[in-house]
Structures are given as structure tokens and as C-alpha cells.
Amino acid sequence: MVHAQLAVEDIIQQHLAPLVKKIDEDALYAESYLLELGKNGYFRSSGKDRATLLQDEANLVEQTAAVCMTTAFCLWCHLAALTYIRNTDNEALRNTYLPALENGELLGATGLSNPMKFYSGLEKLHLNAERVEGGYIVNGVLGAVSNIAEDHVFGGIAQLPNDTEVMFLVDLRKHSVPLKEKANFIGINGSATYSCRFDDVFIADEFVIAHEAKHFVGTIRPAFVIYQIPLGLGVIDAAITTIDKVKAKQNGCNEYLQTQSCDLQQKRNALKARVTELTHGAPLVDICQARLDAVHATLEATQASMLHTGAAGYVAGSKPSRLLRESYFFASLTPTVRHLEKLIQTQ
């Protein structure tokens, strides 16, 4: 039996909007929402060119972030995992995992926060691998991997003794990798974030995404970063809504504030147009600049939302305060502001 596809907005209203307070305050993980998107076909890539796929999935991130950026971040994690599997030369791995990841049967995560910093000279790799017959033995600890559970998958990159790196898929249903929950953040606690410990974990060749990880990361990094920009766009959308709701507050005194919703809307629209342009192909430096500009626009929007709302925004559990915390997470998400500045200034 074929079921009619639900509109994204309907899925948001049914499976996400009622949960936002619990996600923010009680660290609830909105797994069912992500699965529903997949079941309704929103992760399917068949018949789409690269630009169309990036635009459609970026729009999905923005729509989600306008309601809950924690869950939009989890969605971004899943899209990153999809990007790995869509682009791997390991056809058997792709054929095994892509259908499940695209159809709402399986969720994925990135695992590349540390490697992305490594390739920019910011950190050492936290995982090490040794080549053995039929695969690799991996050891080390990833400090924080989001959107994972014991039945999820995520990507990893490990250092080899010959100063090269290998990228692989970890299937937590098959690989024994202990998880330790991390939920002591001021926000984003409903993101299913865990540290992951590898103690002599055998990764068979069938799980290798790329034997030349550095080259592969160069291939996927544009999509990795492009998918992040709409996290900020969605938060800006939400901030504009909160500002417009309090327009008449204190006899319209908000009109004297320097930043108005129309100003934010112009910046948001310009960023949205840039995202569309970037999906057709662009140098990494241009993508990073757009991502950095999105951070600053998002911070401006959420601060303006707090100022327009006044004391009511400072109450625990208020929407403006959640948006403010979300915007600071966006600024701290790999690549962070300082990471982006280095990438831009050293290109």
C-alpha cells in the first residue's frame, strides 16, 4: 500500500512542534521526527541533480530550525552521514546503507568534528588505526558525536602509522563502541550527543568509506558546510517572528531600536540567495564566508529578539532565550567562527 506524502509543515506540527519545550529543557531527542521525514521521502536522492538535492535538503534544515534548532542540528548530522554514503566509491557499502538512510529506516551522524579540525591544523586526530588482514583495528575516543543511539551509524577517520588516514562507517548495531551521554550544555541537550570509545574495534574493509580520507573530505566538505547555513536561517526566521509579535509593546517603543525585523529579513533573504548560488558549485572559501556571515546575522537576530521582547525574554523557558542559546551553539559548531576565519584568511 502506498501512503500519501505528508507535507513537511504537517510533519513538523505533528512530530516536532509539541516537543520543543521538552527537547530544550528535558533533553528529549526527537528521533521520531527525523524518521518521519525519511518515511515520507524527504531524504531520497533518486532523480535529483546535486544542486536540487542540496537545495531541497537545505530547505528542510531551515524549516526545522525555525521551530527547533536542536532537532535541525540532528537533521544536519543525518544529512552529513548521507553525504558520506552517497559519495563513497565503496559500492557495496552504498548499496547496503543508502536505502535505509534515505527511507527513514536508519539514522546517521557525522563523527567528523575532530577530523575537520585536524585537516585545518587545529587538532590531532583522536582515533588511530592499524592495518590488519581484512580491515583495521581502531583505538581512541571521540569526545562528542551527536544524533547517535545504539542502532545508528556514524562516520569516523583514523590516523594510520604511515601518516595517511582512513575513513569508515561505524554501525553501532555491529561494532562494539561504548557510548557515554553528554548533556551538560546550556542548550542542544536533546541532540543525542555521546562520547565514543574505541578499544581495539575491528572495522572490516566492507565498512571503509575511503582509504584516502583527506581527498574524500575535500569532496564532501562543501556540502557539509552548506547544509549548516540554513540552521542559522531558520533561527533568524524564528527571531523575526518573535520581534513582529511584540511590535506594539510599550506603545510601539520598539520602533526606536536600531535593528528591526525588516533589516533582518533583508539579510536573511540575501543569505538564502547565496545558498542557492553555492549549491551550483563554488570555491570552499566562498562557502565558508557565507557560513560565517550566517553566524553573525543569526547572533544579531537573536540579540534583537531579546531586546525587542524585553524582560519577558529573560524569563527561563522563553522563546527568545532559547533562540539566543541556539545562535551561540551555531557559532560554536564545527567549523567554529575562529575555524572559519582561519579557512577564509589562509585560502
Structural domain spans, the chain: 8-107, 109-212, 228-345
Q: What are phi and psi of 3, to 5 degrees?
A: -95, 145
Q: Which amino acid is at 86?
A: R
Strand pairing report for 208-210 and 153-159? unpaired
Integer Cα distance of 277 and 174 in angstroms: 40
Average pLDDT, the chain: 96
Residues 279-299 have pLDDT tens digits of 999 999 999 999 999 999 999
For domain 228-345, which CATH number applies: 2.30.110.10, 1.20.140.10, 3.40.640.10, 1.10.510.10?
A: 1.20.140.10
**Residues 8-107, CATH architecture:** Orthogonal Bundle (1.10)
Helix (H) or strand (E) holding 305: helix 284-309
At 5, is the pLDDT very low, low, confident or very high (cuts 50, 70, 90)?
low
Note the pLDDT tens digit of each residue in 200-224: 999 999 999 999 999 999 999 999 9
The pTM score is: 0.96
pLDDT of residue 1: 33
Angle between helix 69-87 and helix 50-65 axes, rounded to 10 deg: 160
Mean pLDDT of 153-166: 97
Q: Are 301 and 328 in contact (CB under 8 A)?
A: no
pLDDT (0 to 100) of residue 347: 82
Reported as a single tens digit per residue, the pLDDT across 242-260 is: 999 999 988 999 999 999 9
What is the Cα–Cα distance from 156 to 153, expressed in whole angstroms? 10
Return the CATH class of domain 109-212: mainly beta
C-alpha 75/C-alpha 114 separation (Å) is: 19
Confidence class for position 4, pLDDT limits 50, 70, 90: low
Q: What is the pLDDT of residue 184?
A: 85
Would you say 340 and 347 are in contact if contact means Cβ atoms under 8 Å apart? no
